[in-house]
Each structure stands twice: as C-alpha cells, then as structure tokens.
Amino acid sequence: MTSEPLSALLLTGGRSSRMGQNKALLRVTPSGPSIVEMVAARLADVASETLVVGAESEPYKFLGLRHVRDVYPNAGSLGGIYSGLQAASCPYALVVACDMPFLNADLLRYMASVLREYDVLIPVIDEPEPMHAIYSRRCLPWMEEKLDGGRYKVIGWFANAKVQTIERDMIERYDPEHHSFFNMNTPEEWQRAREIALHG
C-alpha cells in the first residue's frame, strides 16, 4: 500500500467527430454536471493535482484546472499521455479520458494504493485499458521514441516497461458491471450512458 502523491491527467484531445458535439460537455442527467465535471470530481478523490491535457483550453477553463497543451499535435492518446506526464509534478500519473462518466472511486483508490514498483499499472478485462491506467515518468523516453517515429499506439512501447496488471477478479470487487471503462463516442453511447445513470 502507498500514500504517495499522485497526479491525474484528464485527456480532452478527441475531436468528438462521431458525436457531432463536444462529448465532454454533455450530461447524463438533465440537471447534473457535465461528464468532464464528473471525471474531474472523481480524480480529485485520489490525486493531488489534475491536469487537463489537449489542444483546446477554452472549453474547460470553468473547471479551474491547469491546462497542458499537446507537445505532439495530432498524436492521439499517446501524445496526450506523454504531454501530461511530462508536465506532471508527481512521479506517477493516473490517466483517464474526458468521456468516461462512471469512473469508480473505490477502484481508483485501490489503484492509487498499489505499491509503485511498476512503470505501468493497467486494468485488463478482455483487453488492457490504457485510458484507465497509472504511468510512471520513467516511461517518457519510450513514449518519445514511438512519437518521434510516428507510431501512436498507446501500448506500443509496453515491451520496454515493467507492466503490472489488475485482473478481472480484482476489478469486479469494486466495479462488477465494468462501468468504469464505459466511454462515449456516439449518440447511441450517450443514450446508453443516460440509461445507466437512470437505472444503473
């Protein structure tokens, strides 16, 4: 168990092209907070700082959080993780996307408590969940090599790193429905999120 400080990176770089509007600013309940506010509130439970990472700062100024611009424009999630990790004040940073309305505070707290002898701590259900993971700043050179080569797969450099996984049985102690990993890219997924918010 660890109580060391942890940074959090809230990635906002997606273009929301399939949604047709900024998905981070949508709501899953009519009078509730926007999704990005929900994500930021969850991160505040476990992190000593939260950085908003992406090309645009204006839509997120209302959050009152520090903004970090992409060092590598148009480099996808890997570029965002790299940029935020480089700017983070803590040696480790929890990374999530701005369109994940059902982050589970208990699962995040468990992840934050795991002894930091890893380079990457990542949940795995059927596939790894790189947008719900903790990364060490030691990963920066491996990321940079891939980014410089125009290779943007988030897990493309994992062979270099000490990767510790969180397996399904542990995830399901905290989040049996796997709602933590639900993200919204389309109007249909937004509708599904509203149904989950209403009925669980």
Indicate if the pLDDT at residue 3 is higher than 80: no
Please give the Cα distance from 118 to 146 (Å, whole number).
20
Name the pTM for this structure. 0.95
Q: Which of these ranges, 54-58, 104-108, 110-114, has the smallest mean pLDDT?
A: 54-58
Residue 2 confidence (pLDDT): 65
Question: Which H or E element spans position 67?
Answer: strand 66-68
Q: Which of these ranges, 18-27, 108-117, 120-129, 156-165, has the smallest mean pLDDT?
A: 18-27
According to CATH, the topology of domain 7-199 is: Spore Coat Polysaccharide Biosynthesis Protein SpsA; Chain A (3.90.550)
